[in-house]
């Protein structure tokens, strides 16, 4: 397997755009727009997978499943449910200005950290090569941005979007870390996310009908 035939520049550009879209997805407060950004990120991921597939044909499968699950099904579910609940995200715990700063610091800091200390994550020789270093750094950065969203957003739908980012991060890392995982395993991982998002939105819709809000801080029937 050689990486010389990879379009290194293309992969870099796509990777940067994946990171940027994840920050926008988190920061945009209009939920539909946020879902659109998520969909765009999914398409970028598919493109990334396709450009890596030159050295690992198994990734064609992964790209196909990612296209269906992340770029089609999940945004579709999000759109359907946003129509039934409110359009705009409830005010997050951290305001827009500080949040952008925090997200940017997280993004840059984490990217540099994982890019320089990639051997912490993977010892495979493959992972030491530049493109895969970039891939792992992007994967962990998207993961951290997703985690940040999950922890600081009070709107349930936005938390779900954060969760999707979290999953995207892990899935991206599979490119470098687990190139030989079987199709069934990939299929399992991909389906699981779709079902999770579907169930969560289904339950959130129930919450919205009963509580009149998707504010997770107002879910306080159970205490002690």
Partner 1 sequence: MSEPLSQVSSSLPAVAFLVPLVAGALVLLGGGLGPAFGRRVSLVASLIVAIIGMVMVGVVTQDTVLTTWGNELRVDGLSALLVVAIGVIGFLTVVYSLRYTDRTEFRKRVGVGRVENRLSLYHALLLWFLGTMVWGCVTNNIIMLWVAVEATTLTSGLLVAFFWDRRALEAGYKYLMLLTIGITFALFGCVLIYACAAAVGQLDGRQALLISEVRNVASLLPPSTALLAVAFLLIGFGTKAGIAPFHPWLPDAHAEAPTPVSVLLSGVMIKMALYALARTVGMFFPSWPQITVFVVVLGSFTMVLGIIMALNQDDLKRLLAYSSVSQIGYVLAGVGLGTYLGCFGGLFHLLNHAIFKALLFMCAGAVIYATGLRQISELGGLARKMPVTSVCFVIGALAISGFPPFNGFWSKLTVYLALATSGLWWAAVIAVLTSVLTMVALLRPAYRVFWANPGASVTGHGEVRTVPASMWVPMVVLAAACVLLGIVPHLAYPLLEQAATALAALGR
CA distance 162 to 25: 8
Residue 193: other Cβ atoms inside 10 A: 21
212 binds partner 1 (CB under 8 A): no
CA distance 69 to 45: 12
224 binds partner 1 (CB under 8 A): yes
Our measurement of the distance from residue 105's CA atom to the centroid of its chain's CA atoms, rounded to an integer in Å, reads 18
Nearest to 158 by CA among 104, 78, 217: 78
- The one among 54, 104, 108, 185 contacting partner 1 by CB under 8 A: 185
199 binds partner 1 (CB under 8 A): yes
184 binds partner 1 (CB under 8 A): yes
Site for partner 1 in 93-132 (CB under 8 A): 119-125, 127
192 binds partner 1 (CB under 8 A): yes
Nearest to 36 by CA among 87, 102, 109, 84: 87
210 binds partner 1 (CB under 8 A): yes
Q: Stretches 17-25, 46-54, 75-83, 161-169: which one binds partner 1 (CB under 8 A)?
A: 161-169
Backbone angles phi, psi at 97, to 5 degrees: -55, -60
Output the smallest distance, CB 124 to partner 1, in A. Answer: 4
145 binds partner 1 (CB under 8 A): no
166 binds partner 1 (CB under 8 A): yes
Q: Scan for tokens 């755009």, then name that residue.
A: 17
Cα angle 140, 79, 152 (rounded to 5 degrees) comes to 40
Site string for partner 1, 63-82 (x = CB under 8 A): --------------------
Cα angle 199, 203, 207 (rounded to 5 degrees) comes to 165
Output the smallest distance, CB 190 to partner 1, in A. Answer: 10
List all residues 6 or more positions away from 97 whose beta carbon is below 8 Å from its beta carbon. none
Which parts of this chain interact with partner 1 (CB under 8 A)? 119-125, 127, 143, 147, 150, 156, 159-160, 163, 166-167, 170, 173-174, 176-182, 184-185, 188-189, 192, 195-196, 199-200, 202-204, 206-207, 210-211, 216, 219-222, 224
């Amino acid at each position: 397997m050689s990486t010389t035939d990879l379009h290194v520049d293309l992969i870099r550009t796509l990777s940067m755009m994946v990171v940027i879209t994840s920050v926008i997805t988190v920061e945009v407060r209009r939920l539909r727009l946020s879902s659109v950004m998520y969909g765009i990120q999914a398409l970028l991921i598919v493109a990334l997978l396709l450009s890596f597939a030159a050295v690992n044909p198994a990734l064609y499968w992964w790209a196909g499943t990612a296209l269906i699950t992340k770029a089609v099904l999940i945004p579709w579910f999000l759109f359907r449910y946003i129509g039934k609940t409110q359009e705009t995200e409830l005010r997050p715990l951290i305001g827009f200005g500080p949040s952008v700063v925090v997200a940017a610091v997280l993004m840059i800091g984490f990217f540099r950290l994982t890019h320089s200390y990639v051997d912490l994550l993977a010892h495979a020789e493959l992972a030491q090569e530049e493109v895969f270093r970039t891939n792992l750094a992007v994967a962990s950065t998207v993961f951290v941005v997703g985690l940040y969203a999950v922890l600081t957003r009070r709107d349930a739908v936005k938390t779900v979007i954060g969760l999707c980012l979290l999953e995207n991060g892990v899935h991206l890392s599979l490119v470098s870390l687990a190139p030989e995982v079987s199709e069934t395993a990939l299929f399992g991982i991909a389906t699981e996310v779709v079902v999770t998002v579907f169930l969560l939105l289904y339950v959130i819709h129930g919450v919205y009908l009963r509580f009149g809000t998707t504010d997770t801080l107002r879910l306080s029937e159970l205490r002690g």
